[in-house]
Structure 1
């Protein structure tokens, strides 16, 4: 009865150019329907504590956020997770591997917005099915023993997944957003703020400082009602360097400038490098070169470099969403590094560490 009620069309228009066509379940209802078991909840908390320990310098392992640019095919996502889980166990003394499970994608103009929005890849925008499929995939990854990470793009969607995450990212386009800073201040997990699209770190420094403070803001409670939300502040945040309009920012000079910017803002020097995006010139096969450069800086004693991000899928490259049939295990958004190269890169890094 609840499902049919959720699907009832509403007659009241929201605004002149929009109308509510379907109600979604509240975050609480979806969590009740697809619960996190006590054992997995304990696992998530243990992984969050491990990430915090790395950020605080108490755990000397390298934090790595690894996985597809975006999830679009449940079968290939599960296969990737199973492979990553086996590798994570083998290198766990040197690295903490976190599965990149991105189900929302920012769009500069228009395009496919991610699995949570359009799970059928056909423009039907079945968000009801999308949030359930996304939560189910994340639960499957947890069952493999992996920590899970995602980018939190739409604050209203965050409540459907926040209990499953061990780390989250705020993207370059939204790091400046007050709404996202307020959201992060209420999350009980570590979060990385990316530098602005100009490559500068000032916006991210402001975001880190803002998120560390308590806030009262407009929001939504777990039952889906508008609410005044009061947050306590989140001290477990850090900078993510992803390059910018002027090019990469992972070289030693850029890292030094980032540290200076963090110090000037009174923010802890905790830096993660995204090996993709502008840092790789949007060439996924250049990611290993970026990775090894940053790894060498860390081996030379730069303790501010706590982690890296890799966009990786089962096979190299990317494909257009309209391609028929879609190639299995190939990204439909940004190009990715294939699994064989990813595995070789991480094994070699573990030996060097």
Structure 2
């Protein structure tokens, strides 16, 4: 299983000298093709990804009557604890799979309003050494181990180059509230093979996310890199598997029935299929992990009372409840506790998902 031992990687010597006015240092990275060759998908992982993508697409399209649940840590900072969680989640996914299609959050990049830890890829050793090449290696190795367990995996596309290294292992991808308005991320989403959920803006408004869904479903031509690391002109076909994620914002939640109805109306006006995921964390819980089960129960109740637009749910969950700052002495880190947003603990996660399954299972008939 994955540990934080430093992987073999290319030399970290600085790249070509830059003009004196430059404020950047360039360090070499392996190309995406090189990393994929060194860490290829096993037959088991490939089958897991293929099945996960197909199942997520069927659920979001309404062809599979189950509900998608994306659940897991706010971010992965300790691969050992992350894989401990993944093993438990794989068992729970099997138990509840007749009603809930469970995918694990495996996020390695964190957007920041100002500054802070940017995620395992950027700073895998939590010490500001910012060994991005090693972080990418560790992230891919983690995803391969998790895929071996049969779990569909979910991530966020934040850096536009990261998907070249990791996207082949994801079944569901988020475009976050801070990047939904970005043309670069809309173009990126148009080229992904996974289902993509666009979150509403941090102020709670929907317009940027709805525009993003329309944009990402269309073909685009844009500059990017190929897997050999060369600059390339990318021509995407458009992604037909995009949907809205309600995450609250502007000081209020938007998981309630009125907010959901308003979102449905806005989507129908734009000829966007009314497919919604309710993110029970972030603005919908005021970043209070104790309120995530409240949001989940409300969304499940709406479904039980006839709502058919809510096709997905999201929880931020880890082994231990809450979160913790990164200590100066890393040996003092609490195992299985988030270092970013606060999470629901494992026992609560299992309980609320079992309760959701019990309420939703009768809706499926036989």
Runs of 4+ off more than 4 Å: 3-6
Aligned pair in 2 of structure 1 residues 219, 94: CA closer, same or farther (>3 Å)? same
Q: Distance in 1 between matches of 2:187 and 2:41?
A: 25
Cα offset for 1:15? 7.8
Rounded to whole Å, the distance in 2 between the matches of 1:15 and 1:236 is 46
**Helix, strand or coil for the counterpart of 2:102?**
strand
Q: Indicate the residue corresponding to 1:21 in structure 2.
A: 26
2:168 aligned partner: 163
Give 5+ residue unaligned stretches, structure 1: none
Instruction: Check if 1:69 corresponds to 2:74.
Output: yes
Alignment of 1:342-353 (within 5 A): 342-353=349-360
Matches of 1:267 and 1:194, distance apart in 2: 15
- The match for 1:177 is 182
- 1:217 matched to 2:214? The reply is no
The answer (yes or no) to whether the contact 2:253–2:285 under 8 Å persists in 1 is yes
After alignment, is 5-14 or 150-159 more displaced? 5-14
Inter-CA distance 281–228: structure 2 relative to 1 (3 Å threshold): same
Q: Show the 5 A alignment for 1:306-321.
A: 306-321=311-326
Structure 1 residue 35 and structure 2 residue 37: aligned?
no
TM-score by length of 1: 0.97
CA distance in 2, matches of 1:4, 1:38: 25
Q: CA deviation at 1:12?
A: 2.3
Work out the number of aligned pairs and report it. 351
Of 114, 117, 127 in structure 2, the residue corresponding to residue 109 of structure 1 is 114
Q: Does 1:256 align with 2:265?
A: no
Give me the whole-angstrom Cα distance separating, in 2, the residues matched to 1:244 and 1:36.
38
Q: What secondary structure sits across from 2:254 in the alignment?
A: coil
- Counterpart of 2:126 (choices 117, 121, 125) is 121
User: Residue 165 of structure 2 aligns to a residue in which SS?
Assistant: coil
| 1:192 match | 197
CA change 1:15–1:62 in 2 (3 A) is farther
Matches within 5 A, 1:259-274: 259-274=264-279
TM-score (norm: length of structure 2): 0.94
RMSD over aligned Cα atoms? 1.3
Residues 143-190 of structure 1: per-residue CA shift (max 9 Å, x gap) = 111011111100111111010000010000000000000001001110
Which deviations, in whole Å up to 9, do the C-alpha atoms of 1:52-95 show, x marking residues without a partner? 11111111111000000000011110100000001000000010
Matching residue of 1:339: 346
1:96 and 2:94 correspond: no
Question: Which deviates further from its counterpart, 15-24 or 177-186?
Answer: 15-24
Tell me the distance in 1 between the aligned counterparts of 2:325 and 2:310. 34
Q: Secondary structure at the match of 2:91?
A: helix
**TM-superposed deviation, 1:8:** 3.2
Q: Structure 1 residues 242 and 14 mapped into 2: Cα distance closer, same or farther (>3 Å)?
A: farther
Deviations 1:190-248 (A, max 9, x none): 01000011111111110000001111101111111111111000000000000011310
Q: CA deviation at 1:42?
A: 2.6
The answer as to whether partners of 2:44 and 2:148 remain within 8 angstroms in 1 is: no
User: How many angstroms does 1:331 deviate by?
Assistant: 0.3
Show structure 2 runs of 5+ residues with no match: 1-7, 361-366
The residue correspondences of 1:127-138 to structure 2 (distance < 5 A) are 127-138=132-143
1:4 is displaced (CA, Å) by 7.4
The match for 1:45 among 50, 72, 94 is: 50
Contact 2:189–2:216 (CA under 8 A) maintained in structure 1: yes
Partner of 2:3: none
